[in-house]
Chains A and B, each alone.
Chain A
Amino acid sequence: MELSEKKNLINLKVLVKNRETVPATILILMVIIFSFLSGGRYLSIFNIIAVSQQASLEGIVAAGMTLILISGEIDISVGSNYALTPVVVALLVKEVGLTIWLAAMIGMGVALLIGFINGYVVTKLKISSFIVTLAMMMFLRGYALILTHARDVGFLPPSVFYQILGGRIHTKFPVMVIWFILTILFLWILLEKTPFGNRIFATGCNQEGARKVGINTDKVKIKIFMIVSACAGFSGIISLSYLSQASPVQGNLLPLYAIAAVVIGGTSFSGGSGTVIGTLVGAFIAQGAINGVVLMGATSYWPQIFMGAMVILATILTTWMDKLRFRID
Chain B
Amino acid sequence: MLKLKNYLNWVLKIREIVALITLFTIIFICLVLIGPIFLSINNIANILSVVSPIAITATAMTLLMISGEIDLSVGSVMAITPTITSLLALKGYNIFFSALIGIGIAFFIGLINGILVTKFKIKSFIATFGMMVIVENIAHLLTGGWYIYGLPPSCTFFKIFGGEIFGHFPVMAIWLLVIAICLWLLLDKTAFGNETLATGGNKEGAIKVGINTDRVKIINFMLTAFTASFAGIIMLSYIGGIPSGIFGRNLAFDSIAAVVVGGTSLSGGSGTIIGTVIGAFIVGALRNATLITSISSYWAMAIVGLIILIAVILNTLLELRRN
Residue of A nearest to B302 (CB): A142
Among candidates B70, B137, B301, B308, residue contacting A305 with C-beta atoms closer than 8 Å: B137
The secondary structure that dominates the A interface is helix
- A143 contact set on B, CB distance < 8 A: 302
Partner of B305, one of A138, A145, A304: A138
Type the 1/0 row for B129-153, where 1 means its CB is closer than 8 Å to any CB of A: 1111110111011000000000000
Asked if B211 is at the interface of the complex by the 8 Å CB criterion, the answer is: no
For residue B112, which residue of chain A has the nearest CB? A312
Interface size class of A (residues with CB under 8 A): 35 or more
Query: Counting CB contacts under 8 A, is A101 at the interface?
Result: no
The interface-forming segment of B23-31, B119-127, B163-171, B186-194 is B119-127
B299 to chain A, nearest CB (A): 6
Residues of B within 8 A of A315 (CB): 120, 122-123, 126-127, 130
Point out the residue from A127, A146, A311 that lies within 8 Å of B126, measured CB to CB.
A311
| B residues less than 8 Å from A121 (CB atoms) | 309, 313
Most B-side CB within 10 Å, residue of A130, A143, A308, A315: A308
Q: Across the interface, name the chain A residue whose C-beta is closest to B123.
A: A269
The residues in A between 99 and 146 inclusive whose CB is less than 8 angstroms from any CB of B are 121, 125-128, 130-132, 134-143, 145-146
- A145 engages B301 (CB within 8 Å): yes
- Report the nearest B residue to A136, measured CB to CB: B305
Smallest CB gap from A269: residue in B: B123
Q: Does A74 contact B (CB under 8 A)?
A: yes
- Are A309 and B134 in contact (CB-based, < 8 A)? yes
The 0/1 profile, CB within 8 Å of A marked 1, for residues 269-313 of chain B is 000000000000000000000000000001111111110110011
Asked whether A316 is an interface residue with its Cβ less than 8 Å from the other chain, the reply is yes
**A150 CB within 8 Å of chain B:** yes
Q: A326 at interface (Cβ–Cβ under 8 A)?
A: no
- Contact between chains at A141 and B301 (CB < 8 Å): yes
Task: Tell me which of B126, B308, B313 contacts A138 (CB under 8 A).
Answer: B308
Q: Of all chain B residues, which has the CB nearest A318?
A: B122
- Residue among B127, B140, B298, B316 with max Cβ neighbours from chain A (10 Å): B298
Task: Return chain B residues, CB-CB under 8 Å to A27.
Answer: none
Contact size class for B?
35 or more
The reply to whether A312 and B266 contact each other, CB–CB distance below 8 Å, is: no
Q: Does B116 contact A (CB under 8 A)?
A: yes
Nearest CB on A from B93, distance (A) = 25
Q: How far is the CA of A145 from the CA of B167 in the complex (A)?
A: 37
Q: B19 on the interface (CB 8 Å rule)? A: no
Within 8 Å of chain B (Cβ to Cβ): is A263? yes
Contacts of A305 in B (CB 8 A): 133-134, 137-138, 141
Q: Whole-angstrom distance from the CB of B266 to the nearest CB of chain A?
A: 4
**B123 contacts which of A132, A270, A308 (Cβ < 8 Å)?**
A270
Is B260 interfacial (CB-CB < 8 Å)? yes
Check if A142 sits within 8 Å of B298, measured CB to CB. yes
Given contacts A142-B305, A146-B298, A308-B137, contact A127 B316 (CB under 8 A): yes
Residues of A within 8 A of B267 (CB): 128
Flag whether A256 is at the interface (Cβ < 8 A).
yes
Which residues of B sit under 8 angstroms from A312, Cβ to Cβ? Answer: 116, 122, 126-127, 130-131
Indicate which residue in B126, B303, B316 contacts A142 across the interface (CB closer than 8 Å): B303
Q: Considering only CB atoms, which chain B residue lies closest to A117 in the complex?
A: B309
The answer to whether B123 touches A128, judged by C-beta atoms less than 8 angstroms apart, is: no
Task: Knowing A135-B312, A142-B302, A308-B133 are in contact, say whether A74-B122 is a contact too (CB < 8 A).
Answer: no
**A46 at the binding interface (Cβ < 8 Å):** no
Query: B9 to nearest A CB, angstroms?
Result: 23
B258 at the binding interface (Cβ < 8 Å) = no
Besides A134-B305, A304-B136, 11 more A-B contacts (Cβ < 8 Å) are A127-B266, A130-B125, A131-B260, A131-B308, A134-B256, A138-B305, A269-B123, A302-B137, A308-B130, A312-B126, A319-B120
Closest 4 CB pairs of A and B: A142-B302, A142-B301, A139-B305, A308-B133
Please give the residue numbers on chain B whose beta carbons come within 8 Å of chain A beta carbons, in ascending order.
Answer: 70, 116, 120-123, 125-127, 129-134, 136-138, 140-141, 253, 256, 260, 266-267, 298-306, 308-309, 312-313, 316
**What are 21 A-B pairs with beta-carbon distances under 8 A?**
A74-B125, A131-B309, A132-B312, A137-B305, A138-B305, A138-B308, A141-B302, A142-B299, A142-B302, A269-B122, A269-B125, A301-B137, A302-B141, A304-B133, A304-B137, A308-B134, A308-B137, A312-B127, A312-B131, A315-B127, A319-B120
